[in-house]
Amino acid sequence: MSPPRLPPVVRALLIANTAVFLLELVAYDPLIALFALWPLHTPYFQPWQLVSYAFLHEGFLHIAFNMLALFMFGGPLERLWGSRRFALYYLACVLTAAGTQLAVQNATGNSVPVAGASGGVFGLLLGYAWYFPRDEFLVLPVPLPLPAWLLAIIYGGIELFLGVTGNQPGVAHFAHLGGMLGGALAILYWRARRRFSS
């Protein structure tokens, strides 16, 4: 039996992120200046950065891990929800990740721009754990497979700890948490709307 085909939105996101990363290899500085998410208190912020930042990455490992997670979690969710709902869900996660990060940066005075699909990817992790909670993943160095629901809780807890303590500067931990928040809000909204419309 052949593996299921990659659904269209996930495929488009993989292609777009890869294409932008290749552009970064030759025009990194202007792309970051225009399309990374700059804090509101800097003169570099532009409204389109609320989405465009999610297509930029800081190096090969950054994009590799994000695209692997997009492939692993995004494909099953798009097949479950359909392409339109999946695209709206991913966009909601990207936007809430951006909004959360901007709020934290405004409160702390941080002026470092943010780039990466991680906020959207953390939202996909939450969605996957919500709908496929018993699926298991082997995450090194843990010697035992972890169910998806536990994996989401562990990653969310780590991001919260690192964000609050500042033990890993240079990583947008609150954007990751914002992506998970956006995913939860989208799922709860869809459930509530179905309940009240039935």
DSSP string, 99-127: HHHHHHHHHHT----B--SHHHHHHHHHH
Better-scored residue on pLDDT, 140 or 123: 123
Return the CATH number at 65: 1.20.1540.10
- Does residue 2 sit within a domain? no
Q: Is the pTM of this model over 0.95?
A: no
- pLDDT exceeds 60 at position 1: no
**Cβ atoms of residues 113 and 36 within 8 Å:** yes
Confidence at 194, pLDDT banded by 50, 70, 90: confident
- Does residue 47 sit within a domain? yes
- Does residue 142 sit within a domain? yes
Question: How many domains are there within the chain?
Answer: 1
- Does residue 3 sit within a domain? no
**Cβ atoms of residues 58 and 29 within 8 Å:** no
- Does residue 58 sit within a domain? yes
Give the range of the structural domain holding residue 20, as residue numbers without chain letter: 8-197
